Chains A and B, each alone.
Chain A
Amino acid sequence: MSGAYEENEGHDGPEATGHDASGPGGNRKPGDGDVPPDTESAGAAGGRDEAENPGPKGGRDEAEDPAGGPGPPPRIPLPRVSVEDGGLPLPAAGRSGPLLLEHPVLKSLLGAWALAACSPEESAAVEEHLGECGACADEALRLREAVVLLQRPESLDLDPALRTRVLEGCLERRPPRIPVPEWATPYDAETARLDALLQDFGDSEWHAPVRLRWFEAGGAASRRTTVAGVLAHLLTVDGLVAVALGLADPLGDIVAPAPAPASRTEAYWRASHYPPTRAVRGPWREQSHDIVRTVSFTGSSAGRMPVPYGDFELPLHDAMLDRAFECWVHAEDIADAVDYPYEPPAPRHLNGMIDLAARLLPGVLAARRQAGLASSGGHRHLVAAGEPGRSLRLEIEGSGGGEWFIPLDSPAAVGSAEHEVAHVALDGVEFCRLAAGHVSPAEAAAGQDGDREAIRDVLFAAASLSRM
């Protein structure tokens, strides 16, 4: 990929803005890189008062001071003011022994001169030359005018919702022959959102510490990594879908002890001598694009194709929802680590994610019961497959919310309003944090009513949907 433009990462990145913090009139001492910053005032004073060492620098500092003055320095430096406009004496050529420079050297200095980036003596020599050489004078004027055009690129925090609006608008005007399946659009949107967040990250952001948190066997678990490490985690687990679709495994030659999310991630982290870097972004993004593209070609029937996750599997359309969910959850981990805001997914995508969790809950309840982690249920009734059974009403509030009846006694039973024994109400984002293992079942802000054991079981089952 990458033409010159893409290589420009960090050009206007968060760390770059710091350069302006020193304010206009910076630390520059003409022609001497070794002079420490605090001697600057002495240097400037010398230039102004004695006029022995005059030049564009003095003019520039003077002209910019008012703008940068007592208030905060401008984020975008003002265009430089030429010495002629600075209200200061023009360099007095010859006063302190003029530099004698050849025409080619003077010409080569024009760019630096226009940017006020040469020594006062050189500036004086150039300016004297401009009075004598029409060609150089023309170019000097042209380059000066060009300096005014230098502007920092606009900060480009594109509204993520714009992507959806633009794409939908296009697809209405010309319906696609090969659409992205409905069940893949949350993944498409979430990966695009995360990629946009990563766009301006500098090294300090990529290596910011992150603690991955989840819930296992009745307790909270966590693992330390970095922002780049989180992205490597997403790369390797998305890789399960990639492999199921016949795409290349991002693990390559690395052998994971088990074809499961945590095992693959740990193997990937271990295989490198160095912690992951920003270099992981390209492969992650390319893979997510390839996945969206490939599922578009497999057609809607492929949605049922199983994707193995090690000790369980999900049909492709659910796996894509699961990956969208994980992408959002970890994007939030990343955003927290670097102190950026991050919004929840679009309501209809959030709804799909909640629906997936609600559909997985009965199976998880049964597994936990078998493992002795959930109540074996004094009230438990045997229910024939496909028949309505005792149910918990899960009411999710907020955008993307809705109502689900979770059958409590068997994954094969059908949730039913007539057999409701308990009612839990919580906010959609809160429910997702619970399912992500980011809040504990005991702490989840849930309104509860009815069979307390059933409620406890369902909340714990929701938390145990989480994994590394």
Chain B
Amino acid sequence: MAKQDVPLRWDRKMQQRLARGEAAALGELYDRFASLVHGLAHRVLDDEQAADGVTRDVFAHVWEHPDAYDPKQGPLRTWIATLTHRLAVRRLRDTETAALASGGPGSAEELERKVRHASVAARADYIVQAMPAPLRAALELAYFQRRDYRQTAADLGVTEDEARRRLRLGLQLLATAHDAGSPGAPPGYGGAA
């Protein structure tokens, strides 16, 4: 599908330019992915400065290790989202563990629950962003704009059957946000998070 080819070519080219040490490529990489990276980090950490820190770490990692990305494994966007998720969750766990160690409130189980919750929320964000636009549009209408599925169908110019299908499929995709870590779970960040 041509639509997938173009980004992949962009991804490969970007990787080559980064490997070559082209500072202008780093700027373009930032311009394309900074809001994704910062948004995901913020969803996990709920803290502006911490999200800034993760953003810095993610781009530094990509800039220092452009070869760590393998275009055969999927789009650069997915790889960067996975990396962001990993670094953000690690930072959250480190911060919370340190707080716990210095006598802060809570327990180890609560910490794990909090980390898991933040992790699922961030993955859900990414799934919504990455799902096919027709599914996202249906969920947008039904949830945020409170249209029922018949109105959703009319708004989208599709049959009622199709509107039901999209809402169900969209939620099925979103539900996979809970499946992290289970081997072979392809959605989300490709199960790698």
- A contact residues, total (Cβ < 8 Å): 69
Given A3-B7, A3-B75, A7-B133, CB of A178 within 8 Å of CB of B23: yes
Contacting pair B164 A108 (CB below 8 A): yes
- B contact residues, total (Cβ < 8 Å): 72
* A401, CB-defined interface residue at 8 Å: no
Stretch from A43-51, A140-148, A381-389, A417-425 contacting the other chain: A140-148
* B186, CB-defined interface residue at 8 Å: no
Contacting pair A154 B39 (CB below 8 A): yes
Contacting pair A11 B136 (CB below 8 A): yes
Contacting pair A176 B21 (CB below 8 A): yes
Determine which of A3, A115, A156, A179 lies in contact with B23 in the assembled complex, contact meaning CB atoms within 8 Å. Answer: A179
* A271, CB-defined interface residue at 8 Å: no
Residues of A within 8 A of B165 (CB): 108, 111
Residues of B within 8 A of A165 (CB): 52, 56
- Report the minimal beta-carbon distance from A348 to chain B, rounded to whole angstroms: 17
Determine which of B21, B39, B132, B145 lies in contact with A156 in the assembled complex, contact meaning CB atoms within 8 Å. Answer: B39
Residues of A within 8 A of B10 (CB): 1
Stretch from B59-67, B87-95, B99-107, B108-116 contacting the other chain: B59-67
Determine which of B36, B149, B178 lies in contact with A118 in the assembled complex, contact meaning CB atoms within 8 Å. Answer: B149
Contacting pair A112 B147 (CB below 8 A): no
Given A3-B7, A117-B148, CB of A195 within 8 Å of CB of B31: yes
- Report the minimal beta-carbon distance from A156 to chain B, rounded to whole angstroms: 4
* B167, CB-defined interface residue at 8 Å: yes
* A77, CB-defined interface residue at 8 Å: yes
Please provide the chain B residues from 59 to 91 with a CB less than 8 Å away from any CB of chain A in the complex: 59-60, 63-64, 75, 77
Residues of A within 8 A of B36 (CB): 5
A80, A119, A162 — which one has the most chain B CB atoms within 10 A of its CB? A162
Contacting pair A77 B60 (CB below 8 A): no
Residues of B within 8 A of A (CB): 3-4, 6-7, 10, 20-28, 30-31, 34-36, 38-39, 42-43, 52, 55-56, 59-60, 63-64, 75, 77, 120-121, 124-125, 128-133, 136, 139-140, 142-152, 154, 161, 163-172, 174-175, 177-178
12 extra interface residue pairs, beta carbon distance < 8 Å, beyond A28-B147, A111-B171, A119-B148: A19-B144, A19-B145, A20-B144, A108-B165, A117-B148, A146-B171, A149-B175, A151-B121, A153-B128, A158-B38, A163-B30, A293-B24
